[in-house]
Structure 1
Amino acid sequence: MPKYEGTNTGRACDLLVIDDDAAQVDLFRHILVKLGLPHRCYHAAGGAQALDFLHAKPPYEGVPRPDIILLDLNMPGLDGREVLKRIKTDPDFKTIPVIVFSHSSSDSEINAAYGERANAYVGKPEDIESNINLLRELDRFWLNIAQLPD
């Protein structure tokens, strides 16, 4: 894989990826390294694990509060829709930017996600180049343009 230029100004962030597809998260981690981006990528394989991570319940004691959450909607068990609702109604977590990424381009899915206060909705990348572009653009916007809450 060729080395791709990232745009980060040096600020590392803690990124929580909530997705039942572990290969997707491994790919994100690999791309972050190849882009030279200093972000730490944490993984929760489902909705229940994500909530345990956020509340630092076992086995997630001592994990940092994520700066950004990437959330897949379609997961078994507690799905992304419910996780989004719980995050955005919890006073401790509602200010964390949540970027929904999904294979669905249905207007009703997109509207529902924004209705639950998702900060962005993006199509789930289908190939490596799209994954690279997604992470590069997330880095560019969320860490170089937007000002994140403490």
Structure 2
Amino acid sequence: MTNDSQRAQWMKSVSQETGVIIISNANLSARLIECLSRELSDWPQVAWLMIRQSATLEDEWLDAENRLFDAHRVSECEISQLLGAIPKTCYLLDVEASHPAHLAWLGSVCGHKMHFLELIRPEEQMPSSNSPQAQVEEILAAARFLMRCYLQEHYLSPD
């Protein structure tokens, strides 16, 4: 899935094993992006979509939905194409560093389950936890939790 643009980019592509997709704005620090990319490189169950122009994508999606509402068709805007290729059983993990729930609307595009993680702002962090690695660990812990939920829902039979 390499449908990248100036408005959104797959930092780590979706695979057949993917159950969790991390979604973030491009406002993450370069060091955090580097650390997270390294940690996710060997984890096929997790993908990562970076949204570079959230407001533009949201406006385009809302406009497309309004125009197609009466036609009862699926929207063909960019974000619908990006998320439409992902099974609806995947969890989306909205990682926000500065604006709470800024990307929450993405869960409505195709009906994915959206979860939210607000990273602690650097100025609010304890000195021992202000490194990008501490933020990466926070993201990975949330992704592991969602992956366990995904596996339980889809692969474990009820007792």
Select the structure that is richer in helix. Answer: 2
**Under a length normalisation based on structure 2, what TM-score does the superposition of the two structures give?**
0.48
**Under a length normalisation based on structure 1, what TM-score does the superposition of the two structures give?**
0.50
